[in-house]
A and B are shown apart, each in its own frame.
Chain A
Amino acid sequence: MSTLIEVDNVSKSFGGVVANNAIGLGVEEGSITGLIGPNGSGKTTLFNSIVGFHPIDSGSIRFEGVEISKMRVPQIARLGMLRTFQQTRIFRKLNCVENMHAALSHREGTFRSMFTHKSGEAEERAEGLLDFVGLYQKRKLRAGDLSFGQQKLLEFAMALMNEPKVLLLDEPTAGINPTLINGLIDRLRLANERFGVTLFVIEHNMRVIMNLAEHIYCLAHGELLADGPPDALQNDQRVIDAYLGAH
């Protein structure tokens, strides 16, 4: 297994607030890697830095060995690194299948390809993936009419439609009811096993992340506090202190 994402010494400040300070971590190819930390510890900032949402102040981010810290979001997405949003983002007025078509990868990118019609093969894949996340019956409904949890599932299916190499998930289970959470975890694991998608997951739900991830990084106050396999991290005093607010 090689390291797919290498984050090296990355810092990012907003005004006087240091959101990320000299963070270094790596995501192994084919793995499910977790990122935890208390609120405001800089998890989402780190995600935004990695996917090119904003420029970083210093450090280096490499994806498959290619320096991507100067690239913009669409460019990085076309390399095969995709993210989902903490506040779910889907195309509200399009129906689910159309959402899936819109999510098709733009890697080939010829001018001609912009004006092609929807292919039957894509339609089939879209329906298959909607079925995979349990939205097949709702495939003709407008995405904006779906419940929040269903929108999260749709966003996940859209990400898979894009055939990424790595998927950065920002709190995939936030706001989803507990019974749906189990189904979502199953599907995340399946996506990792069956489609070979590397997952890098921000998660607050400890039960979820401890079950899901093979390796977990913990941030606190913008710095990397600890990392290791789930059970090691669970017993790490520094992590417990960070969460419970000990000084």
Chain B
Amino acid sequence: MIGDRIEKPVYVFLAVFGVIAPMVFPAYVQQIAMLWIMIVFALTWDTMGGQMGYNSLGNIFFFGAGMYIAAVCQIWPWYDVGEYTDPSGILNTSFTPDQYFLGLGLGVVLAALGSVVLAAIFGLIVFGLRGPYFAIGTLGLAIAAGELIGAWDWVGGGGGIRLPVFPSGTDADPLFRLPFGDLQSADLQGVFFYWTCFVLAVLTFLFLRWLYRTRFGLMLNAIRDDEAKAEALGVRTQLYKTVAWSISAFFLGISGALFGNIIGFMEPLEVAFPTVTFGIFMVLMALLGGKGTLWGPVIGATLFHIIKEVTWTHLLGWQWVVLGLLIVVTVVFFQQGIVGWLQEKRPEWFGIEVDRGTAGQRADAETADALEAARDAAGDVAGDAAR
């Protein structure tokens, strides 16, 4: 099985790349940080869409929810949130490094937990839906959330929230600055969030890798293949579906909390609940790489992110055309994705066995004898009936 052979080198390569990237490519720190977030998007979407067969178009809801929960947590302990977000206000705000990092830590934790709670609540509603209805229902959830937040003045309404400014380099903890010398505040922020995003992507990947090997992963696949059969076997499908969505929500909530702080400003429609960009990208990335596989979303996200960044840089004006084409081609002609295609062409690489026309049975004298006896008995009964 090729997976076992190349697994270790791939992990080593990714770990080394992840660690040295901010030093080797300092100009691309934010793009590579975005790559880690994209990988989290694709991986968490695939838990639902690939492994469980529930194509959610609204997973971006948890991204936005996490972003808003984190923002409120970062402001609320030190300032009145309503005053802070008031666009006409003249509130002079500044955050000490302690306040900033305490708020951020609290924000990330509550963004994750809050998203889980939201997933559990909305799961009760949307998991009554199947197939395309589920996709539309979840899409509606994300769009409605964006519109509702836009009308909620306490969190800034459509005007959004500007997030606390990252502490300047001189204020920051010397331990944290150590490897990066005399970075300026903006660079320091870039490097800090690079690391958090990298750690998030690694934790997401390792968690899902473990999850897919447990009974839970197996039951997700069973629900994907035939939910009615799973129910007929006594599986608590609603519980499995809700927990799976909560797991997606947990990591997406954290990614939202981090992304808001990378951008430094958030508003409901374009940044927090971007259903037509990130919301669609996460589906496309998982499809492109191969849905229902562990590595597919990672490969898909990486490829997609590179294509996206390159077209944005070198084909400006045509970037949406290129992305649109990529979506159409993937969805129409290449649904199995890269890893799915490889599994078809080279099943032995993945430890998948295909029928080579072997038939028969394990030599088991006891079973054979028992069958013989039963056959005799059946014959007797048939004989009796005939008589």
Contacts and interface: CB of A to CB of B under 8 A. Distances in A.
A3 interface: no
B378 A182 contact: yes
Interface in A62-112: 72-75, 77-78, 82-83, 85, 89-95, 98, 101-107, 109
A127 B367 CA distance: 13
B353 interface: yes
B232 A51 contact: yes
Contact of A137 (B222, B292, B359): B359
User: Which of A85, A106, A193 has the largest number of chain B CB atoms within 10 A?
Assistant: A106
A140 interface: yes
A91 B226 contact: yes
Nearest to A143: B225
B229 A115 contact: no
Interface in B342-384: 352-355, 358-362, 364, 367, 370-371, 374-375, 377-378, 381-382
Contacts of A185: 378
B233 interface: yes
Contact of A103 (B233, B370, B381): B233
Contacts of B360: 136-137
A246 interface: no
A230 B385 contact: yes
B119 to A, nearest CB: 16
Interface stretch (B81-89, B154-162, B213-221): B213-221
Given A114-B215, A131-B361, A158 B233 contact: yes
Nearest to B234: A77
Given A106-B236, A189-B378, A211-B378, A77 B231 contact: yes
- The main secondary structure of chain B at its interface with chain A is helix
Given A106-B234, A141-B355, A117 B215 contact: yes
A211 B385 contact: yes
B232 A94 contact: no
A247 interface: no
Contacts of B378: 182, 185-186, 189, 211
Q: How large is the interface on A (under 10, 10 to 19, 20 to 34, 35 or more residues)?
A: 35 or more
B214 A117 contact: yes
B228 interface: yes
B343 to A, nearest CB: 10
A186 B371 contact: yes
A131 B365 CA distance: 11
- The main secondary structure of chain A at its interface with chain B is helix
B382 A211 contact: yes
A240 B332 CA distance: 55
Contacts of A92: 225-226
A102 B375 contact: no
A98 B218 contact: yes
A91 B224 CA distance: 8
Nearest to B219: A102
Interface string B224-245: 1110111111111101100100
A113 B236 CA distance: 12
A74 B243 contact: no
A186 B232 contact: no
B358 A137 contact: yes
A138 B378 CA distance: 27
B354 A74 contact: no
B215 A131 contact: no
Given A109-B236, A114-B243, A118-B215, A91 B377 contact: no
A75 B237 CA distance: 11
27 contacts: A74-B233, A74-B234, A74-B236, A82-B232, A89-B232, A90-B225, A91-B221, A91-B222, A91-B226, A92-B225, A94-B225, A106-B233, A113-B215, A114-B214, A114-B239, A116-B215, A118-B218, A131-B361, A131-B362, A137-B360, A137-B362, A141-B354, A182-B378, A186-B374, A190-B371, A211-B385, A230-B385
Interface of B: 211, 213-216, 218-219, 221-222, 224-226, 228-237, 239-240, 243, 292, 352-355, 358-362, 364, 367, 370-371, 374-375, 377-378, 381-382, 385
Interface of A: 51, 72-75, 77-78, 82-83, 85, 89-95, 98, 101-107, 109, 113-118, 127, 131-132, 134, 136-138, 140-142, 145, 158, 162, 182-183, 185-187, 189-190, 193-194, 207, 210-211, 230-231
